[in-house]
Amino acid sequence: MTSVNLGMPAPPAPVLSPRRKTRQIQVGKVGVGSDHPVSVQSMTTTPTTDINATLQQIAELTAAGCDIVRVACPTGDDAAALPAIAQKSQIPVIADIHFQPKYVYAAIDAGCAAVRVNPGNIRKFDDQVKEISKAAKDAGASIRIGVNAGSLDKRLMEKYGKATPEALVESAVWEASLFEEHDFHDFKISVKHNDPVVMVRAYELLAERGDWPLHLGVTEAGPAFQGTIKSATAFGTLLSQGIGDTIRVSLSAPPVEEIKVGNQILESLNLKPRKLEIVSCPSCGRAQVDVYSLADKVTAGLEGMEVPLRVAVMGCVVNGPGEAREADLGVASGNGKGQIFVKGEVIKTVPEDLIVETLIEEANRIAEESGTPSGTPDVVVG
């Protein structure tokens, strides 16, 4: 086919909007704000009173790539467990406080890096802001003003009729003004809703109102599949506009899964260095190999690999060779065998039953040559 030059310039490579400029805060050793990478958070599901179990889960989250962890603190016994957890955790600990303001002070005294406060359900919260500000400032702790659609102040519910974006933002901005009135500025804000459309609009409105760092989250997002879709849709929309400084994917699933999804979202947007990436075709009538099984086995075999490696698993000769050549490592399958590519060059052809084994061997070889560990570290809590 003869190419036709229409005189049109080549389209520029797509880029995200620049990060929205925010003030900078610290959550322990992790900086949050536009001068720092977008961080990933999760929340433990163990009883906080079970210190060893909680620390074990925090260690697992840390190994999975979690930057900041939140723990529940609904009772005095939970508050009593916070000093040990905050001291022994490898990553900064945030105490999640509802209803009882006394636990805010207990968490700060315990050495937690930050405290999440819910202005919609903490008793007489506005009257406590001055003392909370002083305690946090003296301890070097930061605060998250965590507005949630499910616990919005009843006055705002009466005004707006439901948890609209405007209602969420009004609550957040009011509480922010109270902290700033008392010369406390080390806080970030979240305005969470379970509807990603409402949530996105709330954050867009909030981003226009001030330079606060923003914690993104779709609250009660649902089971793993549904929650992943909701979070990816909402976070992708906001982060592509430069809005968002730390994220928490809420899933009805083990917390480690939240970290995997969160990091994948950031890697997909080039907001975090890519690690292992599996490229596989969706399969069709041309496929001469079980692509689903092949991709699953390769993914499982390479889980935990830290080296930035793109592996292509392709099922036929149409797109297979091209995709495999573009990847660091790949296979183009057909006729009971697979051509193995490394950096665009065919290095060998192997029988179909050796494809998975060969790809894993080659990936580990590449990882070893790069000096990057190829496995997930053991997690042990002493």
Which domains, from first to last, does the chain contain?
24-269 (3.20.20.20), 276-370 (3.30.413.10)
pLDDT digits (tens, 9 = 90+) for 318-352: 666 777 777 899 998 888 889 999 988 899 999 99
Positive or negative, the CA dihedral 56, 57, 63, 69 is: negative
Query: What pLDDT score does 306 carry?
Result: 80
Mean pLDDT of all residues in 19-34? 98
Q: What are phi and psi of 280, to 5 degrees?
A: -140, 145
Residue 363: pLDDT above 70? yes
Asked whether the predicted pLDDT for residue 263 surpasses 80, the reply is yes
379 Cβ contact list (under 8 Å, min separation 6):
56, 59, 60, 63
pLDDT(378) > 60: no
Amino acid identity of 51?
I
**Given this model, what pLDDT does residue 356 score?**
94
**pLDDT for 248 beyond 80:** yes
**What are the tokens at 222?**
């649902």
What was the pLDDT predicted at 320?
A: 66
Rounded mean pLDDT of 212-225? 93
Q: Pick the residue with more confidence: 75 or 279?
A: 75
pLDDT, position 34 = 98
Paired strand residues for 148: 192
Q: Is 25 helix (H, G, I), strand (E, B) or coil?
A: strand
Question: Residues 127-137: pLDDT tens digits?
Answer: 889 999 999 99
Q: Does the pLDDT value for residue 3 go beyond 70?
A: no
pLDDT, residue 380, reads 41
Mark the binding-site residues for [4Fe-4S] cluster, compressed into ranges.
Answer: 281, 284, 316, 323
Q: How confident is the model at residue 48 (pLDDT cuts 50, 70, 90)?
A: very high
Rg (CA), the chain: 24
**What is the pLDDT averaged over residues 93-120?**
95
Pairing state of beta strands 93-97 and 114-117?
A: parallel
d(CA 304, CA 365): 15
* Across 210-233, average pLDDT: 94
The model's pTM is 0.86
On the question of pLDDT at 256 being above 70, the answer is yes
More confident position, 152 or 377: 152
Pairwise pLDDT comparison (123 vs 290), residue with the higher score: 290
Predicted confidence (pLDDT) at residue 100 exceeds the cutoff of 60: yes
Over residues 104-122, the mean pLDDT reads 93
- Helical segments of 110-214, H only: 125-139, 154-160, 165-181, 196-207
Tell me whether strands 68-72 and 93-97 are parallel, antiparallel or unpaired.
parallel
* 70 contact partners, CB below 8 Å, separation of at least 6: 41, 42, 43, 44, 93, 94, 95, 96, 116, 248
Q: Quick check: 81 pLDDT over 50?
A: yes
Report the range of poorest mean pLDDT among 146-150, 168-172, 312-316: 312-316
Query: Which residue, among 133, 195, 136, has the nearest Cα to 168 in the 3D structure?
Result: 195
| Res. 367 pLDDT band, cuts 50 70 90 | confident
Confidence of residue 2 (pLDDT cuts 50, 70, 90): very low
Distance (Å) of CA 65 to CA 41, 61, 111, 232: 9, 6, 23, 18
